[in-house]
């Protein structure tokens, strides 16, 4: 079934009034498109959906493979009250994604700090949060989820990737978009009033590496091993290294099971 604004709005019900949805057949990056619209004054709740992304962006400058019909890719603009701290926002969004997938019968997902959605230990989707230049209380939230693995995906990426269609048909895309937007609305309203601290217990319940030994590597310095103790109320990763707990604030690192 094709993705349509009418179908998504019908499934959202009254909550549809909180969103201004645009469906594009193709674009370079939904985040890039929406950042430009945000700087031009687009309202909170603006959504850009792309059936195809030609230059989708992931964390640390990586590409996001999104062929027509294979991926669910969209970005949401959300404007918070001035002074709202964005700490932990990408983690809060991960909770919304996990709850939405469970709501459409695609449960069994886990969250990996800071912004990956996993299925059976492989990457099912990702989140990219970018603050709007000149408006640090406004964020563009980009989400990509694999419905099917694209035929042109490199073998090394395919081996570490998962898709909702594994073992059967993927859920209807309109159902997925409606479920995701509905859960994002609830989660972002909670985040706006109580911050990530109110959402943290739900994130920990989905945490893929809680109390597991992990290796943390980055662009600076050698890899480190420790036991992952979850996250604090600001969304910082807690790494137990020989009995001393360190707070990892930068998302420019790679976390793997040891």
pLDDT tens track for 227-238:
999 999 999 999
Catalytic residues: 59, 123, 256
Which has the minimum average pLDDT: 16-20, 63-67, 175-179? 63-67
Of 60, 62, 58, 111, the C-alpha closest to 217 is 60
Q: What is the pLDDT of residue 136?
A: 81
pLDDT tens track for 159-179:
889 999 876 677 899 999 999
Given a contact cutoff of 8 angstroms between Cβ atoms, the answer to whether 137 and 82 are in contact is: yes
SS3 state at 202? helix
Confidence bin at 149 (pLDDT 50/70/90): confident
Which has the minimum average pLDDT: 58-72, 90-104, 190-204? 58-72
Which residue spans within the chain are E strands per DSSP?
Answer: 20-24, 46-50, 56-57, 63-64, 71-79, 109-112, 116-119, 122-132, 135-146, 213-218, 224-231, 237-241, 244-248, 253-257
Would the pLDDT of 68 be above 80? Answer: no
How would you classify the pairing of strands 213-218 and 224-231?
antiparallel
- Beta-carbon-side half-sphere exposure of residue 55 (alpha carbons within 13 Å): 7
- What are phi and psi for residue 211, nearest 5 degrees? 60, 25
Q: What is the pLDDT of residue 58?
A: 55
What's the CATH code, domain 213-257? 2.30.30.100
- Where are the domains positioned within the chain? 5-205, 213-257
Options 3.40.50.720, 3.40.50.1100, 3.30.450.20, 3.30.930.10; CATH for 5-205 is: 3.30.930.10
């Amino acid at each position: 079934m094709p993705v349509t604004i009418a179908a998504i709005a019908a499934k959202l019900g009254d909550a549809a009034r909180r969103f201004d949805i645009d469906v594009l057949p193709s674009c370079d990056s939904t985040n890039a498109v929406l950042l430009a619209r945000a700087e031009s004054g687009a309202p909170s709740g603006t959504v850009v959906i792309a059936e195809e992304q030609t230059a989708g962006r992931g964390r640390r400058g990586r590409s996001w493979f999104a062929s027509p019909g294979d991926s669910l890719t969209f970005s949401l603009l959300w404007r918070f009250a001035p002074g709202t701290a964005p700490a932990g926002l990408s983690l809060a969004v991960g909770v919304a994604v996990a709850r939405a997938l469970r709501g459409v019968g695609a449960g069994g997902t886990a969250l990996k700090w800071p912004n990956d959605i996993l299925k059976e230990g492989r990457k099912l989707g990702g989140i990219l949060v970018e603050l709007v230049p000149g408006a640090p209380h406004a964020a563009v939230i980009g989400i990509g989820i694999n419905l099917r693995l694209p035929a042109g995906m490199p073998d090394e990426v395919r081996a570490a990737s998962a898709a909702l269609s594994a073992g059967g048909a993927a859920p209807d895309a309109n159902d997925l978009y409606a479920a995701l937007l509905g859960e994002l609305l609830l989660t972002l309203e909670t985040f706006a009033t109580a911050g990530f601290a109110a959402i943290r217990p739900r994130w920990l319940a989905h945490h893929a590496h809680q109390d597991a030994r992990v290796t943390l590597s980055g662009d600076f310095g050698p890899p480190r091993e420790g036991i992952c103790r979850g996250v604090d109320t600001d969304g910082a990763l807690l790494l137990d290294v020989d009995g001393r707990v360190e707070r990892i604030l930068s998302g420019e690192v790679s976390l793997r099971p040891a």
